[in-house]
A and B are shown apart, each in its own frame.
Chain A
């Protein structure tokens, strides 16, 4: 029986292997097509930002010259990265960076502490708080924005950095992500430290926080992208250039009648760099399984 079955299984495997070989070519080809579709718009952006002549950019747009620059120049970047002047995107860039750093920094501390207490604390109402936090996740930012604008403008917070940072520090999603991460760590970690007489805060700070690098990285990336790309909220709460983030500045600039395509492209590339750096720095820990576990939650 086994003598008979073995050869058939082998030929089967051989046939499957050659089928896999041709399949692999099809797969690689499709990946390259997808890559072309995904990357060429970004590539075009970078190329256009290196062209000084905005009329040339428009003329090139209709041909494959959109993907080629004969004499690249950084003059657009020099112009838009100024800190003062008409097209001073440097200022907005710094504003956005400051807002991002404060939001993510405070967000990591506040949300991880809450997640930790919800996972390992001894408070009696823990389960209730946890389910309340999860329930709050359903409320979309868009549907609280009207009253929130009124609240912050009554409080005189319009046009400040604080108004763009403080409301977005605590978030049900990130509390839940930290809770989930801490809860799956072994119970012995907590118990051993507790027997040694360490306080809850100490256990959190010196044992659990250093272990939570993947969670910190994931939340940093998600919060960073979210803060960096905020648009609706800052247009409602900033009226002057003082604390205006770069997204709003680019959109305002883009909405004008005579579009400086070259400058708009350069400002857009500038806007991509910091968040790209953040992503590349933390991507290693941006474990997909982490988001995967959120799927089931």
Chain B
């Protein structure tokens, strides 16, 4: 006890400038973290909390003299009774059902090809990424012309390939086709990102695993099933989840090309939300839709965590 005392006194002396240094370090760290925390709070956390509050009020877009009233879950009950909401939910589900195999399948197949030692593969990789950096608005200009009925390029190509047996399709004007047309252009636009993610996943599988499989006498197909596919499990989960979440947020292409039509066949949750909020000026109602959208995304994201945990990665 007595022996330790001088030692303690010594540290106390040395600690004074050290504490000052600690303090200035703390000060700097807070200063470096502050801009991000403040911005995220103002522009993400506050509006997020507000959306829950607004969803339970009858707030209109333009302020009225009558005070905004708290109406509990009335907006949610109204939404659940609204056929158009269910239609929009059904439509984004249909969209998801199509976009997953089309976009992810194309991305996976291309990534597998580009993972081989093909000539010019870096060139192709950049080429296939081009649509992904193209604005959705520009994509709509391009595909709006491709979809022209009845003599647009797409119909001409299909007529040519089928020898005139397939009649021209009214891509965006036919309720049976409109959503699928949106799927086509969306897959074309966004698949480059998925392709890059798949390429990264493929690069992450160690070569030794392939060598070992080869020595064990596994042929190419067996190596694909027993080495590539298990190695890509987290990548598959990630790509499928991201694509599903993106699909539920479908908006721009629909707003520009079909405005939810024909006959509400391309009405989506976000388009419905923007419409009720800004065209019908029912802000509380629209906020309730946005809360439901958040809950959907949350459930999908939690599902991803569960899946990844089960795959033990």
Contact = CB atoms under 8 A, between A and B. Distances in A.
Interface of A: 19, 23-24, 27-28, 30-31, 34-35, 37-39, 41-42, 44-45, 48, 58, 61-63, 66, 109-111, 113-114, 116-118, 121-123, 129, 133, 136, 138-140, 142-148, 150-151, 166-170, 172, 175, 199-201, 204, 225, 228-229, 231-232, 236, 247-248, 250-251, 254-255, 261, 264-265, 268, 271-272, 275-276, 279-280, 283, 288-292, 295-296
B197 A292 contact: yes
Contacts of A140: 245, 249, 293-294, 297
A122 B138 contact: no
20 contacts: A30-B109, A31-B113, A44-B145, A113-B33, A114-B35, A139-B294, A140-B293, A142-B293, A143-B294, A144-B44, A146-B51, A146-B286, A151-B47, A166-B39, A169-B39, A232-B251, A254-B141, A289-B204, A292-B201, A292-B204
B48 A139 contact: yes
B222 interface: no
Contacts of A139: 44, 48, 294, 297
Interface string B106-117: 100110011010
B294 A129 contact: no
Given A28-B118, A113-B32, A201-B32, A143 B291 contact: yes
B29 A143 contact: no
Contact of B297 (A24, A136, A138, A272): A138
Nearest to A150: B283
Assign chain B's interface to a size class: 35 or more
B186 to A, nearest CB: 13
Interface stretch (B4-12, B79-87, B171-179, B273-281): B273-281
B142 interface: yes
Nearest to A39: B127
B96 interface: no
Given A38-B188, A147-B287, A44 B142 contact: yes
B144 interface: yes
Tell me whether chain A's interface is mostly helix, strand or loop, or mixed.
Answer: helix
Interface string B235-275: 10010000001000101100110000000000000100110
Interface of B: 22, 24-26, 28-33, 35-37, 39-40, 43-48, 50-51, 54, 61, 106, 109-110, 113-114, 116, 118-119, 124, 126-138, 140-146, 148, 151-153, 156, 188, 196-197, 199-201, 203-204, 220, 234-235, 238, 245, 249, 251-252, 255-256, 270, 273-274, 277-278, 283, 286-287, 290-291, 293-294, 297-298, 301, 313
Contacts of A296: 234, 313
Contact of B277 (A129, A146, A201, A289): A146
Contacts of A175: 36
Tell me whether chain B's interface is mostly helix, strand or loop, or mixed.
Answer: helix
A34 B238 contact: no
Contacts of A143: 48, 51, 290-291, 293-294, 297
A51 to B, nearest CB: 12
Contacts of B287: 146-147
B63 to A, nearest CB: 9
Nearest to A64: B156
Contacts of A23: 220
A220 to B, nearest CB: 12
A15 to B, nearest CB: 11
A35 B130 contact: no
A283 B48 CA distance: 34
Nearest to B144: A254
Nearest to A276: B133
A199 B31 CA distance: 13
B29 A121 contact: yes
